[in-house]
Amino acid sequence: MPFLGIGLHVLVALFFAIHAVRSGQPLFWLFILFSFPLLGSLAYFVVVYLPDSRLHSGARKAVQAAARSLDPSRELREARAAFEYTPTAQNQMRLAAALLESGAAEEAARNYEACLTGPFAADLEIQLRAARAFFESGQAARAIGHLEQIRAADANFRGEAVGLLLARALGAAGRAAQARAQFEATLARYGSFEARVEYAIWARAAGDTATAARLDGEIDQTVRRWSRHTRELNQPLLRRWGAARGAAGA
């Protein structure tokens, strides 16, 4: 039994030695691993192997999510304090992002628009974020204005994101025919799961049950082929889709 125990330590040390060589770790790790198989393996696991592993990455994300749930307003407080102390465009963009994330879309929109009057006036990414903030604050017409300006400046910029947000904004503004055309064009060009779900949600709200049912069937087929991990990544979108179906009694 002791022989088997020593053999196991050596095998573990050998495993970590191979990892050290393949990952380009300093050669002193080989000396430590083979001179002190048990303690060296433990040290290597804690210092090198664990931080590089997917398990550690997942644990770190879980800790970050837990921190946000315990203090969800922390980033907003820090962003606001940073902007008040140093009112730069970068800090204002950080504040706008934190406001949007926290649900204060109207204030976020005002801050994004303020950023568009300075050195970042032609920044299409900021303009897209401003459009999203206006849309989420119920100001669809202003969102459409920003999105049309983006299209005029660069028709290929963030094509799917701009197309989907424009379609949703057109729908919210009561421009149903234009919304449908934009959804169809975006889905035909990109064919993404998100485009299909957003179109289905809009179609059901617009009373187009035939289109909604057709898209629901396509969505169901896609989701059935997904892994558990893919489902988890798409949970926010799936929840919105499920809520729309539930509200319509589908």
pLDDT (tens digit, 9 = 90+) per residue, 158-174? 899 999 999 999 999 99
Q: Report the pLDDT averaged over residues 142-147.
A: 95
The CA distances from residue 213 to 100, 188, 219, in Å, are 32, 18, 10
Residue range 51-67, pLDDT digits in tens = 655 444 445 555 555 55
Residues 170 and 155: their CA atoms lie apart, in Å, by 18
The whole-number pLDDT of residue 14 equals: 80
The CA distances from residue 223 to 165, 226, 227, 228, in Å, are 23, 5, 8, 10
User: Average pLDDT over the chain, rounded to whole?
Assistant: 84
Of 3 and 156, more confident: 156
The whole-number pLDDT of residue 183 equals: 96
Query: In the predicted model, is pLDDT for residue 50 greater than 60?
Result: yes
Q: Is 191 helix (H, G, I), strand (E, B) or coil?
A: coil
Token pair, residue 164, equals: 């989907």
Residue range 87-142, pLDDT digits in tens = 888 888 889 999 998 889 999 999 999 888 877 888 899 999 999 999 999 999 99
Helices (H) and strands (E) in the chain, counts: 16, 0
Q: What is the DSSP letter of 173?
A: T
Task: Give 16's pLDDT tier (boundaries 50, 70, 90).
Answer: confident
The whole-number pLDDT of residue 230 equals: 86
Of 202 and 76, more confident: 202
